[in-house]
Amino acid sequence: MDFDALSLLRDGLPDSRAPRRRVVVVGAGMAGLTTALLLKDAGHDVVVLEGQNRLGGRILTHRDFSGDMYGEFGAMRFPRQHPLVQHLIVDKFGLETAPFPMYDEDTFVFLQGKGVRRSEFDASSFRFDLAPDEKDKTPHELLRHIVHPLVEVVEGDEPERAWHRLLGEFDRYTLLGFLKERGASDGALAMLGPLFNLEGRYHFSLLEWFAHYYEDVFGDLVYLPAGADALPRAFEPYLMDDIRFGAVVQGVDQSESDVRVHYRVGRETRTTTADECVVTVPFAGLRHMEISGLDPDKWYAIRNTYYGRAHKLFMQFSDRWWETRYGITHGTTVTDLAIRNVVYPPAGQDRRYGKGVMIASYCWEQDSMPYTPLAGEECVMQALEDLSKIHPEARETFEFGVYHDWALDWFACGIGPLFRAYEMSESFYEDVIRPVGRVWFANDACDRRHRRWAEGSIKAAIKNAFAIHTGLRDELPVKD
């Protein structure tokens, strides 16, 4: 089957002899919005049910700062190498973009109670018990040396064949398991973990991490000066009258002739009937939803799609001292403190004033867990204590902080899906993406290469909209 996601997104779904369908789309994140727009433009009758009072899902722009400052609790940067999201941003909606560089040598490495600029980092100045053959390499050289077998595969074959070789040979590994098998010492793990933000990913898929690492997905990023929520809001003129907000879906019944979606608005339960239902909300949330007709293998995939936890904690300061006193305009400071990562975002600043916002704590997985039990104000105070160890100016210029834990977000169920060992190459992935009867599944878990990115959500949406529109329900594209 001929399937070109970018062409379909750009030119629309092809002419089809399949009958016009009425389609209920559950969720108004990027997958739901893209699905609805493609199907509506192709002549289908679409209704979108969204449980919250906003569009965007895990695109969440927080605007309760002074002036025009904002903070991105969710997606805050978009890789230029992701063609689908870039098409929507630049070509479809004409949104303004600006560079979001990730690396600044003026940021800090703060480990073992000592902080140095990135440009001055030397492993020998810290207490890392490195093996003799590890000491003569920089951290970047050491990591590259360890993953060299995967690099050889990628660079020794044409891309599609190389990708499937990687799946066949390396999908059995967690990141930690592979590093250990390659002889990385405990000292190397203790050093590489915080420097490259690996510790939260050690027990997950080697290949998922490697794909991002090798493709340098963080190397060329842009942000939307108007706020990341400008992207989902750009769908409003096309879809607003087709979206029902505050509609919390509780169940889906299907028969040979139709599908019935039951949802709650306030205290009232309603039902809408359609030909097809596309579920775009996170799989973890489906554990609380009754969906008829799903087979045991599909439920196994739903139950076992893992959603990672993460939080961001923003602080507003009376002065952008990281710029004026340290010369830092972007990038990330890495630490072994509870705050773990400090991000100095170019996005969200209001250059009319001296005040500024920063991400004082950005944590994944087990690094995020120590914050979850704390009350919001205690989270902020604990983070301020850590931040002040690196930047004493923080204490005297602090104004307030705000915190969002994605693991506590009912509609998100975490920061996004993470593969574990064996899940990228075996039947598990096919069970994740396949439809069952009249119920379809499109979210960022339903794309192998771009999970947790808007690109993955958009691609999954295109696959499902194409299959529904053409009537090729048994040929949902699997390759990616």
Angle at 85 between CA 448 and CA 451, to 5 degrees: 20
Residues 84-107: tens digit of each pLDDT: 999 999 999 999 999 999 999 999
- Confidence at residue 478, expressed as pLDDT on a 0 to 100 scale: 53
Query: Is the torsion defined by CA of 57, 309, 392, 123 positive or negative?
Result: negative
The confidence band for 2, taking pLDDT boundaries of 50, 70 and 90, is: low
From residue 173, alpha-carbon distances to 93, 420, 425, 480 in Å are: 41, 8, 12, 20
- Confidence at residue 476, expressed as pLDDT on a 0 to 100 scale: 62
Neighbours of 150 (CB within 10 A): 22
Residues 413-426: tens digit of each pLDDT: 999 999 999 999 87
CB contact at 8 A, 358 and 342: yes
Both tokens of 370, joined, read 């120590």
Question: How far, in Å, CA of 408 to CA of 248, rounded?
Answer: 17
Q: What is the 3-state secondary structure (H, E, C) of 372-384?
A: CCCCHHHHHHHHH
Residues 162-176: tens digit of each pLDDT: 999 999 999 999 999
Which amino acid type is present at position 268? E
Question: How far, in Å, CA of 5 to CA of 270, rounded?
Answer: 35
Residues 173-231: tens digit of each pLDDT: 999 999 999 999 999 999 999 999 999 999 999 999 999 999 998 889 999 999 999 99
Residues 362-396: tens digit of each pLDDT: 999 999 999 999 888 999 999 999 999 999 999 99
| CATH top-level class of 118-215 | mainly alpha
- Confidence at residue 343, expressed as pLDDT on a 0 to 100 scale: 98
- Confidence at residue 231, expressed as pLDDT on a 0 to 100 scale: 98
Mean pLDDT of 417-436: 93
The confidence band for 474, taking pLDDT boundaries of 50, 70 and 90, is: low
Beta bridge partners of 205: 174
CATH of domain 61-83+91-102+220-225+309-405: 3.90.660.10
Hey, what CATH topology would domain 5-12+21-52+229-305+430-470 get? FAD/NAD(P)-binding domain (3.50.50)
Q: Is the pLDDT of residue 250 over 70?
A: yes
Neighbours of 438 (CB within 10 A): 25
The confidence band for 471, taking pLDDT boundaries of 50, 70 and 90, is: confident
Residue whose pair of structure tokens reads 């999908």 in the numeric block: 171
Q: Which stretch of DSSP H or E encloses residue 106? A: none
Report the first-to-last Cα separation within the chain, whole angstroms: 14
List the domain boundaries for the chain.
5-12+21-52+229-305+430-470, 61-83+91-102+220-225+309-405, 118-215
Question: How far, in Å, CA of 78 to CA of 314, rounded?
Answer: 20
Mean pLDDT of 282-311: 95
